[in-house]
Structure 1
Amino acid sequence: MELLAGSYEQVLFGFTVHPEPATRGDHQKWTPVADFTHHAHTASLSAVAVNSRFVVTGSKDETIHIYDMKKKIEHGALVHHNGTITCLRFYGTRHLISGAEDGLICVWDAKKWECLKSIKAHKGHVTFLSIHPSGKLALSVGTDKTLRTWNLVEGRSAFIKNIKQNAHIVEWSPSGEKYVVVLLNRIDVYHLDTASVSGTITNEKRISSVTFLSDSVLAVAGDEEVVRFFDCDSLVCLCEFKAHENRVKGMFSFEVPEHHVLVTASNDGFIKMWKLKLDKKVPPSLLCEVNTGARLTCLGVWLDRVTDAKKSLPSTAPFPERARTNKTECGNMVQEEGTPEPGSKKPASTGDREKPAKGARLVPAKRRRTTALLEKKKKRKMQ
C-alpha cells in the first residue's frame, strides 16, 4: 500500500507501507519507506483521490494532475476548472468527479480522460461532494448555503435543500442509508429515507475531516490535536485520543485482513497509521508514523488492489455523450467549454499529440509548467 499526502509546499509525498504479519498484543509495527516526492503543481495541493490504478491531485493552481501508480509515471494534467480544485472523488475505475471554486462539478472518463459532463452545481464555490455507494446519487455542498442531491442516472439536480449556513463537508455512510453534513464545528446527521436531520453532533473546534469507521461510528478531526469517535445514532462521543501535535487535516480508513486501519495527516508534518479496536470506545494503537517535514493538506491511500474494477456510474447515465448545448439555470447541464463542432477533430485523449479542446483537456505536465512560468513573467512585466 502507499500513503499519499499533499502539502502547502506544492509537493505530493508517497510512502510505501508493507504490513507485517499479525501478532499478538498491541506492539505490532509497520514500516513506511519513502517512495517519491513529486513537485508538479504551482500552488498548494487541496485534494487527492485514489482508485485501483490512478492517483489524482487538485490544487489552488486550478489543475488536476494524474499519476499512474502501476507504472510510477505522471500521466498529465486536466485543465477545465477556473478556481481552486476543492474536491475529487473516483467512482470505480471508470469515472472521476471533480468540484471547484468556479461552482462546477465535472464528470470525467477515467480511461480517456475526457470531460463527459460539466454541471453548474452551485452559485458559489463547490466545497465538497460525496458519491452514494450505489453510484446513482451524489451530494454536494457549496458557499450558496445549499445541500444538493444529484441524480447521476439522469445527470441532473434532484433536490435542493437550503441549510442557512455554508457547509464544508458532506459524506455518505458505507451503506448509504445516512449521510453527514459538516458546518464549522457541527455535524448534522441525515437519514436517506427522510432527508431530514435525525441528530446533531458538536465538536469542540472547527472540523476539518470526517470518515466513517462503520455505518454508525464516525471519526472526527479538526483544528486541534485530538481525534474523536462519535456514535451517529446515540450522538455520544465514544472515545478521543491525541493523534498529532497540530491540527489534523485529513483522515482515511480502510480494512485489510485482520486489521481495521485509520490514517491521519496533520499540519505537524506527520502521517500516522492507527490500528482500530473492535470496541470503538477504546482508543486505537499506533502502527507507524512518518515525518514529511511539510505542512500537509490532504490525504489518500493507494491499496494496490482491484476492489472496484467493476464499479462504474450507472450505464443509463448520459455521461458517455459529450455535454449538450443547454445553458440554463444553476443545477442543470451547461455546455462544456470547447465542445467540438460537428465535423471537427476529436479532442486528444491519453497519449495523443494533437492539441486538445480548450477547457477540458489532458495537458502534458512539462508544457503546463512552462506555460505557468511564462504567465508569471508576463504579469511581472505588466506590474
Structure 2
Amino acid sequence: MALVVAGSYERFVFGYRVDGLPSSSSSSSSARESGAAAAAVNHAFTLDAHLTQCKSVAARGGFIASGGADDLVRVYHHNPDGALADLGTLAGHEGTVQCMELHGPSSSTEPTRLVTGGQDGTIIVWSVNAWDALKTLKAHRGGVQNVSVHKSGAVALSSGADGCVAMWDMKRGRVAHKTKLKVKPELLSFTPSGTKYYACAQSRTTITSAETGAVCGVFDAPSRVMCATMAGSDALAVLGLEGGDVVGYDTRAPPTKHALRITKAHPTRVKGVVVPYDDHDAGVAMGGPAGGATSLVTASSEGVVRLWDLRVAGKGGGAASARDIDEPVAEAEGGGRFTCLAVMPCALPRAVADVLSAERDARASDPAERAARRGEEKQRKLEKARAKAAMRPARPPPVKAKRPSAAGETADGGDDDEREGFEVVPEGGGGGGDGGGAPRVEPRREPKKPKKRERAEGERFGGDELLVTRKPSHKVKKSGGGDGKSYEETATAARRKGSGVKKKEASRGFGKPSSARR
C-alpha cells in the first residue's frame, strides 16, 4: 500500500491510500481485469497546512513536508497505522517555498536532510528530527524553481528564474558549476541512477549526462510539459501535459515516437505524475513499457487522483508495441485544485520498523527495566527540584513563640519576661476591660537612638539618657541683660536669694523682654 500526498491551491494537503498495486508478475493480457478488481484509491486525510496555497510537497520514510506561499514549511509524520503527528513549522524563507526534497542514505532508511528552495533565491538545508537550518545557500536571482539531490547526497542540482542551472557541492556548501541555458528550465531532476538529469522547458525535455554534460536525448511533447517523472529506471520518461494527456518516451529509442500515451487522462492540465510502490526495500515494480514502472498515479486541477496500469500499453520497450491506455483502474474524487504530488510507501522502512518493534518488545517484557526507568526519571526530577531550590536566596526560619502557661511561665520553666527579644503584653489594653484575655507575646522593640539635638537637651537637663522626648512649649532665649543669663536662671537665683535680688526689668512672662520691644 502506497501513500500519495497532494498539495492544493486551497492551502490544504490531501493524502490518498493506493491499495492493490499491480504486480510485475501479472501478464499484460489479464492486467486490466486483475488490476480493476483489486486496485483502489481512498482518501486518507486532509491537513489544514498553510495560510494560503501549497506549492510543494515531499514524502519519504514516514515524513511528510509541505511548502506554501506563506513562506512556511510544515512537517508531519505518518505512522503505518494511519495516525498523523504534527512535528511543527519551519520558518527560514522570505518568499514562497516553491520546491523541496527529503533525502536519506537509502530508500530503506529514514531521511536525514530536508532541502527547500524559495522565491527569495535561497536554498536551505534542514536536519531531520532536530529541524535546524544547517546551511543557507544563495542560489538564484528571482527565486529557486527546482532542487534535486543526488542519491549519494554529495551534490545537488537547482534551477531558477535567472535561467541558470547550478550544481552544488553539498559537502562544502558552494557552487561547483553553473551554466545559463537559452530557455529557462521549468522542471529539473536527477534520473534514478544519478548519472543523468532531465530538464523540461515548455514542450521540450532534454536529458543530459551529469558527469560530462553531454546531451543524451531530446524529446518534443505535443504540448507544454507540466510535470514529469522517471522513477524506477532511466529508460522511461513520463510527462504530464497541459491539455490533460500523459505521454511516455523510451530514452533508448528515437525521440520521434512515444512508448505510451494516455489521451485525456484528465479534462484539464495534469499537475502531478508519480510512480507508486509499496515496499521500501524492493522499490518500484518493473515490467511496464520500455522496461519501466508498472503503475502510475496522476492528479489534475479538477481535484481527481487516478491510478493507471501501464502494462496494458505493451511490453518490450519498442515504439511499435506502444498503444493508448483508455481507462484508469481506480480513482478518487473530492480533492482540491492540486498543485503538486509526492508518494511513499505507507509502512515504515523495514530496518526502522524492526528497531522500533525490538524496543517496544523490550519495554513490554521486562518489568525490572520499566521500574528502573521510572526510578531514574524520579531521581532526575528530584535533582532538578534540588538544583532549583539551591538557586533561591536563603531566608531565615521564622521564630515561633511558645504559648505561656497560666502561671506566667514558659513550657521549659523559664519566665516569659526573661526571653530575649520578647515581652508579654496583656490583651485588651494591658488588663483593662474584661481582663479575662490571655496575654500575648510580641517582639520587644528597642528604643530608638535619640537624635543629636535630643541628646543635647537631655544632657542639659541633667539626664544621662533622654527617656521621654517632648517638644518644649516655648523657645528658650537669653534675656536682654549683659550678663548673658536666661530668664529661668535669673528667676531661680531670685527665689534662692530672696527679695533682695534686684531685677533689671519687671517680669512680663515668657514673652520678649521689654528692652527688645523698644
TM-score, with length taken from structure 2: 0.57
* Among candidates 54, 66, 69, match of residue 57 of structure 1: 66
Amino acid at match of 2:270: V
Alignment map for 1:34-53 (pairs within 5 Å): 34-53=43-62
Higher helix share: 2
CA displacement at 1:155 relative to structure 2: 1.9
Query: 1:117-145 deviations in whole A, cap 9, x for unaligned?
Result: 00001122101011112221111100111
> What residue number does 1:222 align with?
241
Is the CA contact (8 Å cut-off) linking 1:102 and 1:124 kept in structure 2? Answer: yes
Is the CA contact (8 Å cut-off) linking 1:276 and 1:283 kept in structure 2? Answer: no
Amino acid at match of 2:241: G
Partners of 1:309 and 1:121 lie apart in 2 by 35
Alignment map for 1:137-216 (pairs within 5 Å): 137-213=155-231, 214-216=233-235
CA displacement at 1:165 relative to structure 2: 2.6
Task: Rate the CA distance shift 1:44–1:196 in 2: closer, same or farther, 3 A.
Answer: same
Query: 1:305-347 deviations in whole A, cap 9, x for unaligned?
Result: 445979xxxxxxxxxxxxxxxxxxxxxxxxxxxxxxxxxxxxx
Query: 1:26-69 deviations in whole A, cap 9, x for unaligned?
Result: 12232222222122211111100001121001111111111111
- Residue identity over aligned pairs, in percent, reads 30
Q: Is 1:2 paired with 2:3?
A: yes
Alignment map for 1:100-111 (pairs within 5 Å): 100-111=118-129
CA RMSD of aligned residues (A): 2.1
Partners of 1:25 and 1:187 lie apart in 2 by 30
Partners of 1:187 and 1:158 lie apart in 2 by 24
Q: Is 1:244 paired with 2:278?
A: no
* Stretch moving more, 27-36 or 208-217: 27-36
Q: Is 1:12 paired with 2:13?
A: yes
CA radius of gyration, larger in: 2
CA displacement at 1:274 relative to structure 2: 1.4
Partners of 1:161 and 1:21 lie apart in 2 by 41
Q: Is 1:300 paired with 2:342?
A: yes
Partners of 2:304 and 2:335 lie apart in 1 by 8
Q: Gaps spanning 5+ residues in structure 1: where?
A: 311-383
Alignment map for 1:280-359 (pairs within 5 Å): 281-283=322-324, 286-307=328-349
Q: Gaps spanning 5+ residues in structure 2: where?
A: 105-110, 287-293, 353-518
Is the CA contact (8 Å cut-off) linking 2:297 and 2:307 kept in structure 1? Answer: yes
> What residue number does 1:372 align with?
none
Task: Rate the CA distance shift 1:188–1:5 in 2: closer, same or farther, 3 A.
Answer: same
Partners of 2:161 and 2:221 lie apart in 1 by 21
Query: 1:237-262 deviations in whole A, cap 9, x for unaligned?
Result: 22211211110001111445767321
Partners of 1:21 and 1:155 lie apart in 2 by 42
Q: Which structure would you say has the larger RCO, counting Cα contacts within 8 Å and 6 or more residues apart?
A: 1
Q: How many residues align?
A: 310
> What residue number does 1:26 align with?
32
* Among candidates 256, 261, 269, match of residue 295 of structure 2: 261
> What residue number does 1:78 align with?
90
Query: 1:163-201 deviations in whole A, cap 9, x for unaligned?
Result: 123211111111112111111221121112321323321
CA displacement at 1:74 relative to structure 2: 1.6
